[in-house]
């Protein structure tokens, strides 16, 4: 068995793990990265964020041509479009391969040793990696756990055949005629909307009484209107059952049994931390429910064992893992760092898109010390010019009445994901309403709605 000693051992090559690796290398730390999952870039790059956005983008292009073919749009007409989903998936895979190669090049430049194989820990600082070339025993001074998460499987709807997770949905060779999505969260809605644009008949089954239950109703209403307008069948307050002979059994909110025709059943009821199969029980780290417990330095209860990303709890977002990975690398290198963000913005790439950073209306319900201001995209020139002002979209700002400190920012509308960094930056800097109001925003852009919402909170919006 090959023996290997290193300063830093990272388990998992997702956004938390590979970023930690690159930063460790930049800081001159001898680093080994074990990749035993989806490949360099992890879930996000290979079977999550990036490929799903590629398919969503392709679906939007198809929808535009379909509109032009069904009576015209903006004076543009076209013949009826067709899609070869296999070619679309091949293009998506090409994007993934290019990014994989980029991550590999960055790790090589940082002098990080990458080992492809599955690790299993014998104790907190020692693991055995099974590779194609045999076993490698690795001991390390520091261990960074970045094993990520995996889709939750329902016992009565096990993955296989026509019951698929988001991973399989992103690699289908043809558009299903009838798709039933179990779960009305962001993953199910993003993919369900994309497949509806591509021509599938889509039904969504959600246990809660509305879609995207983690967001307030004002943010989700425009999405619900899009679903209704485009013939997506919604079964809210409903429970899914078994699947067989092309039919999914559900129980409606009224307790009535119902059979839904389905060529494919996409199960998107959540994700869970990947804690099994790599010897976590042998490491002696404390847990916080299903997650590995960490402090503000991303340190576990075991000395010099760190954890980042989905393994550490909500929000299970790629950019959180990346930020944690940087922090841990710098701490190991002797820097004084903590992971203590003011906010971690979240985006739903639905139709329209949703962004949320900081506190929302539900968080401040009953408080009279908070200003809430909303500005509609219908009053923004750029939004109207790109057909983004007619779906009920808006930007909302919440701020303290006492000192005007911004407490939260939300938006719903086409392309609002591009505003998320501005929202997070203003909150991280501790901005007050006057900071946003005093920043000259470029015209014509969607960001003007953020400016106007802040002006409105101060009592003097210009364009409403």
SS3 375: strand
**Contact, 176 vs 263, CB < 8 A?**
yes
Please tell me the distance from the alpha carbon of residue 197 to that of residue 140, in angstroms, as a whole number. Answer: 49
Query: Which two structure tokens, joined as six digits, stand for 201?
Result: 């008949």
Q: Please name every residue paired with 346 in a beta bridge, in sequence order, or none if there are none.
A: 356
Query: Which two structure tokens, joined as six digits, stand for 416?
Result: 């609002």
460 an active-site residue?
A: no
Which stretches does DSSP call E strand in 26-92? 31-35
**Contact, 13 vs 42, CB < 8 A?**
yes
Please tell me the distance from the alpha carbon of residue 382 to that of residue 415, in angstroms, as a whole number. Answer: 11
Query: Which two structure tokens, joined as six digits, stand for 461?
Result: 């919006």
Indicate the pairing of strand 346-348 with strand 353-358.
antiparallel
Among the residues of 114-237, which ranges form H helices? Answer: 166-169, 186-197, 217-229
Give me Rg for the CA atoms of the chain.
Answer: 24
Note the Cα 447 to chain centre separation in Å. Answer: 22
Kindly name the residue from 57, 335, 404, 443 that is annotated as catalytic. Answer: 443
Helix %, strand %, coil % for the chain, to 5? 35, 30, 40
Provide the annotated active-site residues. Answer: 443
């Amino acid at each position: 068995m090959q023996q290997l000693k290193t300063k830093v051992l990272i388990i998992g090559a997702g956004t938390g793990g590979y970023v930690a690796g690159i930063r460790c290398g930049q800081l001159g730390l001898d680093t080994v990265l074990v990749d035993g999952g989806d490949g360099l870039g992890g879930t996000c790059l290979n079977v999550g964020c990036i490929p799903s956005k590629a398919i969503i983008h392709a679906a939007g292009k198809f929808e535009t041509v379909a509109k032009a073919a069904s009576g015209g749009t903006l004076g543009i007409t076209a013949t009826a479009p067709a899609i070869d989903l296999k070619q679309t998936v091949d293009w998506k895979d090409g994007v993934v391969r290019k990014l994989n190669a980029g991550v590999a090049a960055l790790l090589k430049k940082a002098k990080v040793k990458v080992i492809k194989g599955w690790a299993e820990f014998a104790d907190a600082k020692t693991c055995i990696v099974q590779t194609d070339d045999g076993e490698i025993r690795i001991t390390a001074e520091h261990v960074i756990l970045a094993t990520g998460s995996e889709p939750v499987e329902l016992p009565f709807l096990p993955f296989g055949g026509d019951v698929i997770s988001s991973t399989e949905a992103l690699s289908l060779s043809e558009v299903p005629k009838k798709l039933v999505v179990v779960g009305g969260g962001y993953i199910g809605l993003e993919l369900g909307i994309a497949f509806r644009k591509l021509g599938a008949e889509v039904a969504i089954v959600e246990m809660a009484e509305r879609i995207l239950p983690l967001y307030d109703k004002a943010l989700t209403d425009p999405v619900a209107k899009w679903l209704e307008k485009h013939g997506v069948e919604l079964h809210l307050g409903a429970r899914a059952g078994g699947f067989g002979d092309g039919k999914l059994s559900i129980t409606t909110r009224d307790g009535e049994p119902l059979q839904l025709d389905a060529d494919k059943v996409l199960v998107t009821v959540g994700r869970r931390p990947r804690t099994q199969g790599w010897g976590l029980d042998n490491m002696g780290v404390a847990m916080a429910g299903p997650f590995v417990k960490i402090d503000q330095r991303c340190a576990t209860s075991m000395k010099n064992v760190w954890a980042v990303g989905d393994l550490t709890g909500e929000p299970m977002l790629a950019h959180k893992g990346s930020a944690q990975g940087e922090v841990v690398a710098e701490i190991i290198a002797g820097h004084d760092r903590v992971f203590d963000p003011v906010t971690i913005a979240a985006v739903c790439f639905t139709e329209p898109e949703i962004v949320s950073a900081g506190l929302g209306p539900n968080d401040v319900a009953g408080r009279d010390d908070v200003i809430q201001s909303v500005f509609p995209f219908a009053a923004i020139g750029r939004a109207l010019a790109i057909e983004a002002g007619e779906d009920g979209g808006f930007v909302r700002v919440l701020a303290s009445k006492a000192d005007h400190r911004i407490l939260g920012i939300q938006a719903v509308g086409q392309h609002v994901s591009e505003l998320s960094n501005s929202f997070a930056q203003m909150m991280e800097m501790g901005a007050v309403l006057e900071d946003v109001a005093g920043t000259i925003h470029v015209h014509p852009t969607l960001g003007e709605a953020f400016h106007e919402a802040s002006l409105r909170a101060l009592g003097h919006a210009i364009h409403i």
